[in-house]
Chains A and B, each alone.
Chain A
């Protein structure tokens, strides 16, 4: 009697368990994160405003001379976009941590690495990609030489994807800490340096009329490496932050 009751309840649980595999879960996570982000427009817009503001500070702080500005524009645009992407990282897991949905993600039968990757791709879609699209506009204001605008956008789009992945490791490690903001930048910025070197290098190569294929290929290779390894580190870090 007891036993059949137990069997009955397990089969009932199995029937009510959400059907579908990994793809369904990833799709659901993507949809949920996109909806949430689009309802909090400020979080999407703030990095862009920050990007524009930082770029405004440089001519004021250095000099309005177009020649000088155009010489340092590739580096400035890349550094400012990198900082804007960094600033948006803290919110990546924060609200999910606060309302407990991150724990549900951990409990889900699907691998946490895949669900984390879905969250990171939404973050890139609404932070990295807009930054990349906005950069040419700011490039005009810094009198970036013609012919490098497309390369600037492409290198930023490729590079910010790696930045989101690497940064998510830091965000996952610090999400359990009350004031993790400055610590997050301390952890993540050194790891951003290779992406910065090849991203800004691509724009500079385009200005000097050199081949850009090598730079973009290396940015792609960095992205492939990050795609392969970062999800596991993100999953491990989330487990530490939740269980600790």
Chain B
């Protein structure tokens, strides 16, 4: 157990193992996203109420899933970094934050675009959109806090604490916003047509969700690798690596 954790501590070991893992995830992500996109956008049947506009679901739902999952994985990485001082965990948390913010923005933007045919307006203070907006602010806070410190180590630890505080608050925020929304329910519309999804609508959605997750893992691995090279540039093994490449 300890030998394994000690191995995890070493960026060099992570660099070696991730070199083997990342092609797998890139290939899986490309295949799933490629097939899922074409199937979802071109071949899945139209929704009987929303028509073609329902196809936004194939981007919106996976992005929303990922937006929340990335925040949780960022907080877990922060915890691992704070407790076991594993630097790789902090590097992963560093590169996850912008992707998470981007996914939150994609979910918000696709939600707004969906709002035009469904609600007739770009923005509604819908419970889900509102929680997503708050999540975006939480991401921006973590990114800004990390950047504000002149010492990288302090910035890392501050961002880890904030990510953990945020992850405890996310369910509280989500449930209070849901509650607030049901209290102020604007009467006219609800999103319908969600309950009745047939199998050939579900299958591409499932592919897209798994594909988004594979993309997230692949991108995190690749970006963590370059972060390792950047931070460990003075270490001997990195220099040897650079000499080999030359």
Contacts and interface: CB of A to CB of B under 8 A. Distances in A.
Interface of A: 169, 173-174, 176-177, 180, 183, 186-187, 189-191, 193-194, 197-198, 201, 222, 225, 229, 233, 236-237, 240-241, 243-244
Given A222-B172, A244-B154, A173 B162 contact: yes
Sorted nearest first, the 4 A-B pairs with minimum C-beta distance are A244-B154, A194-B176, A190-B137, A187-B141
B144 interface: yes
Interface string B156-173: 011001101110110011
A201 B183 contact: yes
Given A187-B141, A193-B177, A240 B148 contact: no
Contacts of A174: 145, 148
A191 B176 contact: no
Interface string B180-207: 1001000000000000000000000000
B145 A190 contact: no
B145 A187 contact: yes
Nearest to A182: B144
Contacts of A176: 149, 154
Contacts, number: 76
B138 A194 contact: no
B145 A197 contact: no
B164 to A, nearest CB: 8
Main secondary structure of the interface of A (DSSP, over half): helix
A198 B176 contact: yes
Main secondary structure of the interface of B (DSSP, over half): helix
B246 interface: no
Contact of A233 (B138, B157, B161, B183): B161
A190 B166 CA distance: 9
A231 B242 CA distance: 46
A233 B168 CA distance: 12
B99 interface: no
A193 B173 contact: yes
Contacts of A193: 134, 173, 176-177
B80 interface: no
24 contacts: A169-B161, A169-B165, A173-B161, A174-B148, A176-B154, A177-B148, A183-B148, A190-B138, A190-B173, A191-B165, A191-B166, A193-B134, A193-B177, A194-B169, A194-B173, A197-B177, A197-B180, A229-B168, A233-B164, A233-B165, A240-B161, A241-B154, A244-B149, A244-B157
